[in-house]
Amino acid sequence: MSRVLIIGAGGVGGVVTHKCAQNPKVFTEICLASRTESKCKAIAGQLKRKIQTAGVDADEPANVIRLIRKFKPDLVVNVALPYQDLAIMDACLATGVNYLDTANYEPPNKAKFEYKWQWAYRARFKQAGLMGLLGCGFDPGVSNIFCAYAQKHYFDEIHTVDILDCNAGSHGKAFATNFNPEINIREITQRGKYWERGKWKETDPLSVHQTFDFPEVGPKEMYLMYHEELESLVKNIKGLKRIRFWMTFGEQYLTHLRVLENVGMTRIDPVMYEGREVVPLKFLKALLPEPSSLGKNYTGKTNIGCMIEGVKNGKPRKIYIYNVCDHAECWKEVKAQAISYTTGVPAMIGAMMMLTGAWRKEGVHNVEEFDPDPFMEKLNAHGLPWVVKTLRPGQMKV
């Protein structure tokens, strides 16, 4: 018997809700809450099971506390925006409820995501006997768990990790982002950053790129970027010498992005317009398609995984662990595109790990700190099967 409160009724929230509803033995009662309650009701209407819905502005801890006191959940799954992370964690602390999210906090006025704000809650969660699980989507999330699985079963020491994130799908729109446009554009326009031999190295935004031939997808251009799981994996993977993150982008996407940046539409500082302050990126977000609206005619596949090299029994070893996900199949199952799906399914599995006690550690933790095996098994069972390829050194070079 367990009660889960899901906050955020966007692309990812829709998938988490569908997947929790498919597993009534673990998730006996579900409440979906978001800023716009009509979006929760629309998702609830797609389900075979009855769930509760609520309207909540999660920027204010007091609003979340009120909702938690009313619904009495065992766990809050936060799939709203990173801006709400700390307010929701405060509300969980005030009410004695466990917490899970898929994206780390960043302050609205500075495009800089970092775990430091949420890691600072560790002692308070521990003292309260609560667990907070951070970054439990695909990347961060499954990418971290792939590394933990490799560390447990394939390596004595991991030397290099390259996380490769490819979306080779087509939604038919001139320009759209697959998750929240504001968060997505803030992330992509940042400087690149990777970690090598104990030091962070920076690159100009999207300046380092190469072609990689993704299984089941084909050759795509991928770009080096900074991504939040690098920060925790550097701490938690033994013997690591280098870790990088790569994401594919099409020419059409990059051309639109360049123009929008050049004309100032990606700025996050307020500008005066007709006597009132407007943040250009927030205005742009209002014009772009919502991630939850892209699924219907989306075709093609994603391939996200980790290329890992290191040593086992004194010999060099290289493996590639990845998942391939089909946009159209996701639409058929839960009325979503594959980016929302690959994020929402791991969030549901993480919730399942916490509610069944398979993962239990008081404090605030990243997913690679737990036994990867039960999670990996559930990925296969709930729609995200994975493959481990053993490679020769030099094969499928990144």
Residues that bind ligand NDP (CB under 6 A): 7-13, 34-36, 39, 56-59, 79-82, 84, 102-103, 137-141, 179-180, 183, 290-292, 339-340, 343
- Helix intervals (H) in the chain: 11-21, 37-44, 61-71, 85-95, 116-119, 122-127, 142-153, 181-188, 229-236, 251-262, 280-287, 327-334, 338-356, 372-381
Nearer to ligand NDP, 7 or 128 (CB): 7
- Give the chain's length: 398
Nearer to ligand NDP, 17 or 180 (CB): 180
Asked if 288 and 181 count as a contact pair (C-beta separation under 8 A), the reply is yes
Q: Which residues contact 24 (CB under 8 A, 6 or more apart)?
A: 49
From the CB of 111, what's the least distance to ligand NDP, in Å? 13
From the CB of 332, what's the least distance to ligand NDP, in Å? 19
Q: Would you say the C-alpha torsion 168, 170, 173, 176 has a positive or negative sign?
A: negative
From the CB of 18, what's the least distance to ligand NDP, in Å? 13
Q: Which of 7, 14, 3 is nearest to 336 (CA)?
A: 14
Nearer to ligand NDP, 140 or 310 (CB): 140
Nearer to ligand NDP, 157 or 326 (CB): 326
Nearer to ligand NDP, 93 or 304 (CB): 304
Asked if 37 and 99 count as a contact pair (C-beta separation under 8 A), the reply is no
From the CB of 162, what's the least distance to ligand NDP, in Å? 17
From the CB of 83, what's the least distance to ligand NDP, in Å? 7
Strand pairing partners for 299?
170
Nearer to ligand NDP, 243 or 339 (CB): 339
Place of tokens 């006996």: 28
Place of tokens 């935004």: 205
Question: In this chain, which residue has its C-beta nearest to ligand NDP?
Answer: 10
- Give the separation between CA 103 and CA 114, rounded to whole angstroms: 10
From the CB of 232, what's the least distance to ligand NDP, in Å? 12
Nearer to ligand NDP, 8 or 73 (CB): 8
From the CB of 126, what's the least distance to ligand NDP, in Å? 24
